[in-house]
Amino acid sequence: MTWLIWRQHRTEICVLGLLVGMFGIALVVLGTQAHDLFPGGPARCAGEAGVNETCAASFRRLDEEYGYVENLLAVFYLVPVVIGAFLGAPLLARELEDGTWQLAWTQAVPRMRWLAAKLAALAGVTATLTGMFTAVLTWFRQPFDVWEGRFQYDAFDLEGLVPVAYALFAFGVATAAGAILRRSLPAFGVAFGAFLAARMSVALLARPAYATPLTAMEPVAVGGSKGQAGHRPGSGNASWLIEHGYADATGRRLSWTEYYELEAVANRAGTNLNQFLHARGIQQFKVYHPADRFWTFQLIEAALFVAVAAVLIAVVLWRVRRRMI
Amino acid sequence: MTATELALRTDGVGKRYRKGWALRDCTLALPAGGVIALVGPNGAGKTTLLRLVVGLLAPSTGTVQVLGHDVTASTPQTLSRIGFLAQDHPLYKRFTVAEMLRFGRACNLRFDQGLAERRLAKLGIPLDRRAGTLSGGQQAQVALALALAKRPDLLVLDEPVASLDPLARHEFLQVLMGAVAEGGVTVLFSSHVVHELERVCDHLVVLNHGRVTLTGDIDTLLAEHRLLVGPRTATDLDRAGTVVEAVHSDRHTTLLVRDGGIPAAPGWQARPVALEDLVLAYLRRPSEPSAAVTSGVAA
């Protein structure tokens, strides 16, 4: 079976391996240069951006010289679906398209053993390739993460456990769609669509609700100019800000309209806005997930996608077992 | 006959797809050894029946036993005793012929690589060619060599020659019959072409509208049936329910009867019937649930 699986899927595995290798090497080359901006490693500059001059300079150069690369990383949102769907779609669909399922399942290997071997091998390749790429990408993003935290979409979705879970999800959708539609290309399309829909709805709607966000309240500081670093309430910018705004002395949250009215009153009176707000006991509030929830959130999201993948694979196993194919 | 001597036994087998029944009430007992033809028009349920026999499909009703074993269990032992050549003889098109043989070796308990190589060498099919680049006839031969190298006890072929040109068809049947002559293998194949069957087959199963309408040993069937030709008459001629078909021309009436050869009535002439005419007569009969006519295996 090992030889057969390799022979049947070596083209996909080689193409994907080549792509992962090429992008991986590019990231290692660029990442080494970016890491070199931080003598002693980027981790030493954690939380030092506004304090330590050397670190501030390093971050400035990082943004100037490699900021464009960081923006390009958005392309890699699609890496898991490309890997997972590319390996999953033909698993059954190609056999059904070409009629070779009748050849494969009338040899002496029982169909369930055939299917289990294929699923294990190709899911393994999916997880390995995605895992390797994610490891490189996580390393590449280290200096950026030290600066911006790991909770933003361009970090959280590309690092840690979730990319592998996304890839397994895409693999499951593509395999199941291939079993039902009996065509590789439509199965690939379905996996792509399902991936985008699931990823977007989970990231935007489900993820903020994995835990109850914390709320921080702080009076408006008198001296500080608006938005200055270190004057935001709560922890640093490594946390995930869900919502922020102003509240009155009793803690009632002000709508932005109410806030702009206050601002207009302050302008008309010609007073400093912060002093004006401070005098009225206006507070700044912030609803956020602290940075140390990163791994909890990663685990929850990974478990979610892997669970859906497992259900889809179970459907495939059930269909093949019941000889519905 | 005991069950172990049967190549195939089906009991009330039916298969229902979403759009309806493809096969109903199929009860067969086919002897091991020899060649069995499964005949019927397109859409009669031949492919469904063959897929049930090799365990690719599970029956909706009834049971299928091949060589005394339930095929739905699909153990490696049962699977390795059955060879299957699907319609259009699918192969992994991007595999070379040698890789197809390696596939057979990797996926079977007893695979006679030498036998397959000898067969292909005899046919002049190069091992280093990709399967997809071979002609249709050569692909069929590779698929057949693959199925025969399993050394199956039952070889099932679905419309094996339907897509082949006359020359390739002839060569294919020659190789197949050669393998049968070497002994040991029971061959069950489907066809919608009736002619030439007489030369090749020992046993016949006629399938129409998802039901078995006739089954039996070909020689016995031919001995049991005959044509009676007499003056045109419109009276009920079915003396004992033996008339399979009555055809009236201007002056004559021709009856196909299954009466085991009792003397013909005065004024009537008896003639033997050709296999093709026999099959066609049964295919023309309207389908009724109890229409299955069985000639006992032991007959």
More confident residue, B156 or A48: B156
Confidence class for position A6, pLDDT limits 50, 70, 90: very high
Contact B107 A110 (CB under 8 A): no
Nearest CB among B54, B75, B99 relative to A106 is that of B54
Pick the last residue of a domain from B209, B233, B268.
Answer: B209
Q: Which residues of A touch B (CB under 8 A)?
A: 1, 3-4, 7-8, 98-111, 322-323
Same domain, A152 and A193: yes
Amino acid of residue A45: C
| Strands ordered across the beta sheet of A240-247 | A214-219, A283-289, A240-247
CB < 8 Å from A in window 32-91 of B: 51, 54-58, 72, 74-77, 79-80, 82-84, 86-88, 90-91
Segments forming the whole domain that contains residue A149: 2-210+293-321
pLDDT of residue A48: 65
The closest alpha carbon to A61, from A28, A39, A91, A89, belongs to A39
Confidence class for position B74, pLDDT limits 50, 70, 90: confident
> 3-class secondary structure for chain B?
CCHHHEEEEEEEEEEEECCEEEEEEEEEEEECCCEEEEECCCCCCHHHHHHHHCCCCCCCEEEEEECCEEHHHCCHHHHHHEEEECCCCCCCCCCEHHHHHHHHHHCCCCCCHHHHHHHHHHCCCCCCCEHHHCCHHHHHHHHHHHHHHCCCCEEEECCCCCCCCHHHHHHHHHHHHHHHHHCCCEEEEEECCCCCHHHHCCEEEEEECCEEEEEEEHHHHHHHEEEEEEECCCCCCCCCCCEEEEEECCCEEEEEEECCCCCCCCCCEEEECCHHHHHHHHHHCCCCCCCCEECCCCC
pTM of the model: 0.89
Per-residue pLDDT of A98-151, as tens digits, reads 999 999 999 999 999 999 999 999 999 999 999 999 999 999 998 888 888 888
Q: Which of A92, A102, A184 is the best residue to mutate to test the B interface, defined by the most B CB atoms within 10 Å of its own CB?
A: A102
pLDDT of residue A236: 55
Same domain, A270 and A186: no
Are A247 and A253 spatial neighbours (Cβ–Cβ below 8 Å)? yes
| d(C-alpha B259, C-alpha B265), whole Å | 12
Taking one residue from A and the other from B, the number of pairs with CB-CB distance under 8 angstroms is 73
Q: Residue B215 domain-assigned?
A: no
Residues of chain A found within 8 Å of residue B83, distances taken between Cβ atoms: 106
More confident residue, B178 or A311: A311
pLDDT of residue B184: 82
pLDDT more than 70, % of chain B? 90
| d(C-alpha B22, C-alpha B50), whole Å | 12
Q: B269 pLDDT exceeds 70?
A: yes
**C-alpha distances out from residue A127 to A133, A135, B47, Å:** 10, 12, 39
Pick the last residue of a domain from B209, B236, B262.
Answer: B209
Positive or negative: CA dihedral A63, A65, A66, A68: positive
Min CA distance, A318 vs chain B (Å)? 13
pLDDT of residue A47: 67
Same domain, B186 and B38: yes
Confidence class for position B264, pLDDT limits 50, 70, 90: low
CATH of the domain at B73: 3.40.50.300
Helix pair A2-36, A79-98: axis angle to 10 deg: 170
Q: Across residues B184-203, what is the average pLDDT?
A: 85
Q: Which residues contact A131 (CB under 8 A, 6 or more apart)?
A: A163, A164
Same domain, B98 and B35: yes
- CA A226 vs. chain centroid, Å, equals 31
Contact B58 A323 (CB under 8 A): yes
| d(C-alpha A267, C-alpha A273), whole Å | 7
Q: Three-state DSSP class for A288?
A: strand
pLDDT of residue A178: 97
Q: Which of B93, B107, B151, B163 is the best residue to mutate to test the A interface, defined by the most A CB atoms within 10 Å of its own CB?
A: B107
Confidence class for position B238, pLDDT limits 50, 70, 90: low
Nearest CB among B79, B80, B86 relative to A99 is that of B86
Contact A98 B51 (CB under 8 A): no
Contact B90 A102 (CB under 8 A): yes
Among the ranges B30-34, B96-100, B253-257, which has the highest mean pLDDT value? B96-100
pLDDT more than 90, % of chain A? 58
| d(C-alpha B239, C-alpha B241), whole Å | 6
Number of domains in chain B: 2
Per-residue pLDDT of B13-38, as tens digits, reads 999 998 899 999 999 999 998 899 99
Q: A232 pLDDT exceeds 60?
A: no
Per-residue pLDDT of A150-188, as tens digits, reads 888 888 999 999 999 999 999 999 999 999 999 999 999
Same domain, A191 and A56: yes
The interface pTM score, or ipTM, of the predicted complex is: 0.87
Segments forming the whole domain that contains residue B182: 3-209
Contact A103 B90 (CB under 8 A): yes
Contact A103 B102 (CB under 8 A): no
Residues of chain A found within 8 Å of residue B55, distances taken between Cβ atoms: 105-106
Q: Which of B50, B54, B56 is the best residue to mutate to test the A interface, defined by the most A CB atoms within 10 Å of its own CB?
A: B56
Same domain, B85 and B171: yes
Retrieve residue B40's tokens.
């019927």
Q: Is B95 on the interface with A (CB under 8 A)?
A: yes
Contact A106 B99 (CB under 8 A): no
Number of domains in chain A: 2
Q: Is B107 on the interface with A (CB under 8 A)?
A: yes
Q: How many CB atoms lie within 10 A of CB B32?
A: 18
Retrieve residue A244's tokens.
């922020």
Same domain, A315 and A245: no
Same domain, B144 and B273: no
The closest alpha carbon to B36, from B208, B211, B200, belongs to B200
Confidence class for position B229, pLDDT limits 50, 70, 90: confident
Lowest-pLDDT range of A9-23, B82-96, B163-177: B163-177
CB-facing half-sphere around the CA of A246: CA atoms within 13 A = 23
| d(C-alpha A240, C-alpha A248), whole Å | 24
Task: Write the DSSP symbol of residue A284.
Answer: E
The closest alpha carbon to A173, from A192, A200, A157, A199, belongs to A192
Q: How many CB atoms lie within 10 A of CB A252?
A: 9
Contact B99 A7 (CB under 8 A): yes
